[in-house]
Structure 1
């Protein structure tokens, strides 16, 4: 497999890379990337097989180790991210767990921002200590807390920025500098920003992870993950772990994700414009006590957010007055916006983090993260933004009136 960008690719801009980067055509000259739905590969002879396993010949061995369709996806992701290499995984959580478990061992220490996706939090708080790895959480926005935690040798740092679900921002440059002084490899979950709106490697990160299920597919079809970084770390640390533990991406999913990448820039740009409008609408809406959106001047870390990101992104978090009961009434009143714990989709979706994505971290941890019972995470999609604000208006009006609504499945007309 060739992890190096094509010689001419450096001259192309992201939108072009999303369509063309990493493509490898067969002798048939297909326009769309070929899908290699095969578990194994045939050798010319026994000597070639031996040489391949010895690393003396380049030949695909088994789709758990590498596959031509998956390799095209990996090359395209690497060129887009500006990374030396990429490995694809079956899911986003496989990307996170593989990045951490391939690097850490018993006796090591990890420092993580407290504001993490629920499953990432569980890995750091519950799984890693089972293997004798010390886990330390800090407030991601508190540089003094980072400095204290990183004043002793540390093997790994994990953070996500913007964070899920409260859209907290971490100063990547400052944290990466401190982490490297402590000897740590910095892993950044860049799912909310996407590779188009933020480049963690440019701020000193060593490894970037994605749930490709989100914006990269962005159409609710397949699962996938990606780990990107320096070629030496990918090949010497990550690849042996992936090869021998098996969190491989299927060739079919890789092909779908390649198709998703082709429209990523169009979708993210349109969804971001919609999110800006929705955030502004919610900020002045009755019944909404607070709005978090990195692109708004009233975000607590607006200056830092726009220093690291080129735009505000597709996620808006807001809090309604009245706690869980009010949040549920609003969500159940929506006719267009679906109730779903997914995000980054072409369809707009809302979720209640306290009872879904962050339920299992516990009330105390949620309180530290500012996840109240009235907080709702909204992933803004590609619909006409006027229909989205109309949908929210109806729900908020009903909320203000203290009424109840029948649940109406998205895509179906409600009775007037």
Structure 2
């Protein structure tokens, strides 16, 4: 996964941190696993203690929406992995995005957003933000001049994904941060596709990093959650305002499940990435596949960012069949082992049709601008034997080819 001695050292340290970071819980029984504090509220010794905690004069827990020991351990671990001072865990990935971005804007402000992002993030910025007087411009952030031109006196934040959902467009995060240098603008990066093991946006100038913890961080397809990492001041602002008052906080049980999942993140990511390389190579060579979008291929426009910005290309691949939308849908319907399902980062390989599923909130015009065609397919490569993943794709492609030949 690593490409230099320094990266190897970092990867080794992080393999340890996914297991041990933030595990300083003081359990009276000496439990090795993080205790699950499945409680909504915490009792006070007396009214003076309760008053002091509400006033912020004394540490301690009050109510699980405001903080919980299990949740705190998760937040500490992910903050360490991303290299930040603090983190805030949320009920969903979109909860993290909404609570984070809303904490730094007000009516009359302006934001700049990458032109290729997850469909619900697009809807949040293009529809809900507009309703409350915050205007978003969607910009190709690989174009430095376009970004510079888009910035205004009232621009408060820049939001991006890299790799972008669904077609793996890469943005040079450091180049964006350099353009923002000296301006009072927050750079927020959704790092879900990479995880901190493959990419650490803080080192590239990001102020805040967001994850849908539903995905690789948890890794088992049984939790929906999010997390945002940043400076202690920024996280305190998010926790004390938008997260607290809108209530998108994580349940302690979900935090406990993610802590369990994180322990295998390093070994899982290695298998995910090894499998993805093999699947991408298979798709790239197949006669029915018109184009493959995968940063690990030399033909990818920003392939050079691997080894500098990213340690690996990751485990998500997008591709287009040499046909139309109906043919792409037919191919998806022929798969036998691979579930037709949205999400990524699970043990199972998952495949979906972005234009009609994850990115359906886009208008047709916005999808075209973002390069999300009606024939685009996204596959999140799982942990099965690579040859079995490829065999299922192969039989579905063969079935599709036979169907097309009969109808020609």
Q: Same fold, TM exceeding 0.5?
A: yes
Tell me the TM-score normalised to structure 2 length: 0.94
Partner of 1:408: none
Structure 1 segments unaligned to the other structure (5+ residues): 1-9, 405-416
Tell me the TM-score normalised to structure 1 length: 0.92
The reply on whether 1:244 has 2:240 as its aligned counterpart is: no
What aligned pairs does 1:296-307 form with structure 2 within 5 A after superposition?
A: 296-307=297-308
Structure 1 residues 359-393: Cα deviation after superposition (integer angstroms, max 9, x where no partner): 12111111111111111000000000001111111
Task: Tell me if structure 2 keeps the 8 A contact 1:99–1:238.
Answer: no
CA distance in 2, matches of 1:302, 1:158: 22
The reply on whether 1:137 has 2:127 as its aligned counterpart is: no
Bigger Cα displacement from structure 2, 270-279 vs 10-19:
10-19
What aligned pairs does 1:200-349 form with structure 2 within 5 A after superposition?
A: 200-349=201-350
CA distance in 2, matches of 1:11, 1:287: 37
Task: Tell me if structure 1 keeps the 8 A contact 2:157–2:188.
Answer: yes
CA distance in 1, matches of 2:204, 2:162: 12
Structure 1 residues 210-247: Cα deviation after superposition (integer angstroms, max 9, x where no partner): 10000111111011100100111111344332122211
Partner of 1:13: 13
What aligned pairs does 1:115-154 form with structure 2 within 5 A after superposition?
A: 115-150=116-151, 152-154=153-155
Shift of the 153–179 alpha-carbon distance from structure 1 to 2, 3 Å rule, reads: farther
CA distance in 2, matches of 1:112, 1:395: 37
CA distance in 2, matches of 1:306, 1:125: 34
Structure 1 residues 329-361: Cα deviation after superposition (integer angstroms, max 9, x where no partner): 111111111100111111001000011011121
Shift of the 57–264 alpha-carbon distance from structure 1 to 2, 3 Å rule, reads: same
What aligned pairs does 1:94-113 form with structure 2 within 5 A after superposition?
A: 94-113=95-114
Structure 1 residues 269-292: Cα deviation after superposition (integer angstroms, max 9, x where no partner): 101000000000000102100001
Partner of 2:376: 375
CA distance in 2, matches of 1:12, 1:204: 23
Shift of the 296–228 alpha-carbon distance from structure 1 to 2, 3 Å rule, reads: same
CA distance in 1, matches of 2:84, 2:362: 33
Task: Tell me if structure 1 keeps the 8 A contact 2:11–2:197.
Answer: no
CA distance in 1, matches of 2:182, 2:293: 33
Bigger Cα displacement from structure 2, 84-93 vs 295-304:
295-304
Bigger Cα displacement from structure 2, 177-186 vs 331-340:
177-186
3-state SS of paired residue (2:155): coil
Partner of 1:91: 92
Partner of 1:412: none
Alignment RMSD (CA, Å): 1.6
CA distance in 2, matches of 1:156, 1:225: 20
Partner of 2:54: 53
3-state SS of paired residue (1:103): coil
Task: Tell me if structure 2 keeps the 8 A contact 1:169–1:305.
Answer: no
Partner of 1:411: none
Task: Return the structure number with greater relative CO, CA threshold 8 A, min gap 6.
Answer: 2
* Aligned length in residues: 395
CA distance in 2, matches of 1:260, 1:229: 22
CA distance in 2, matches of 1:106, 1:179: 22
CA distance in 1, matches of 2:130, 2:239: 20
